[in-house]
Amino acid sequence: MRLLTISDWKDYELIDTGGFEKLERFGKFILSRPEPQAVWDKSLSQKEWAKLQHARFKKERNHPDKGEWVLKPEMKEQWYIHYLYKTMKLTFRLGLTSFRHIGIFPEQAVNWNYIFDSLQPKTGGSFLNLFAYTGGASMAARSAGASVVHLDSVKQVIFWAKQNMEASKLDGIRWISDDAMKFVTREVHRGKIYDTIMLDPPPYGHGTNGEKWILEDQINEMMKKCRVILVPQNGHLILNLYSIGFSPLLAHSLTKTIFASAKKIDFGELYMEDKAGRRLSRGIFLRLVT
């Protein structure tokens, strides 16, 4: 079991954590957002946080994720940052949403690197990105020459991903707005096969027609269907889980049961480290090769 974190990203840093908050820099702007796992004390004073931050997310009293942003005059509601790795050059349009998210999960950069490295020697192949959000993994795969299918149930998020693709000077990604389970079930019936699958499901969610997604209830079935549509030799599956009730060992046992003949399974936790050296868990990763 391994621990992975990002390094050498000029446009991002985790400055401080604590008091159930995190202070992050995205490009030239510094944001303060809620962070349920930052149970320790802050290393910087509240006065220092107030001086550094350009925007702070203020939660609604009865809703843990919804709220509003309190902005300083120089803060923009939309801006761009860049991510560079070898010959991969990605650009992300960030924006302040009412659900505290801004369009990127920085810890996923380690998966973007892995996707790029695993696909580039083969000049691409076919790549399926499920629960794809704003498309970091899709763009990494496309940068490596892959034929990419990007699926998300929220049309506005797909439009956001298209903006990122265009800003990154890429093209050719196939966009699908659908319920992930229904789409994968249809791909099984069609006999469709992919060289690489990225699976990054939320703990809870809804499909395009209100279909419910509950991680612990459906991840077993989803993984079984992914096994059917993943190439049996030298296929790659990347699984990312962010749920407090899940552990890396659970992800490994689930995968080992379904992909019993996998040649390689690498798994562990993603984390971010602030300037005081505190490590903030950012979820579970698992990578397998068939």
End-to-end CA distance of the chain: 19
* Alpha-helix runs per DSSP H in the chain: 46-52, 109-119, 136-143, 155-167, 180-190, 215-229, 248-258
The answer to whether the beta carbons of residues 55 and 79 sit under 8 Å apart is no
Report residue 34: phi and psi, to 5°.
-65, 145
pLDDT higher than 80, residue 214: yes
Report the helix count and the strand count for the chain, using DSSP H and E: 7, 17
Cα dist from 89 to 43, 85, 116, 142, whole Å: 33, 7, 11, 11
Does residue 175 have a pLDDT over 90?
A: yes
Instruction: Name the superfamily (CATH) of residues 105-289.
Output: Vaccinia Virus protein VP39 (3.40.50.150)
SS (H, E, C) 82-116: EEEECCEEEEEEEECCCCCCCCCCHHHHHHHHHHH
Residue whose token pair is 């795969």: 141
pTM for the structure as a whole: 0.95
pLDDT of residue 48: 98
- Please write the tens of the pLDDT for every residue from 235-270: 999 999 987 778 999 999 999 999 999 999 999 999
Report the alpha-carbon distance of residue 100 to residue 70 in Å, rounded.
11
Contacts of 259 (CB under 8 A, 6+ apart): 227, 237, 265, 288, 290
Distance CA 131, CA 135 (A): 9
pLDDT value at 184 more than 80: yes
- Domain boundaries defined on the chain: 105-289
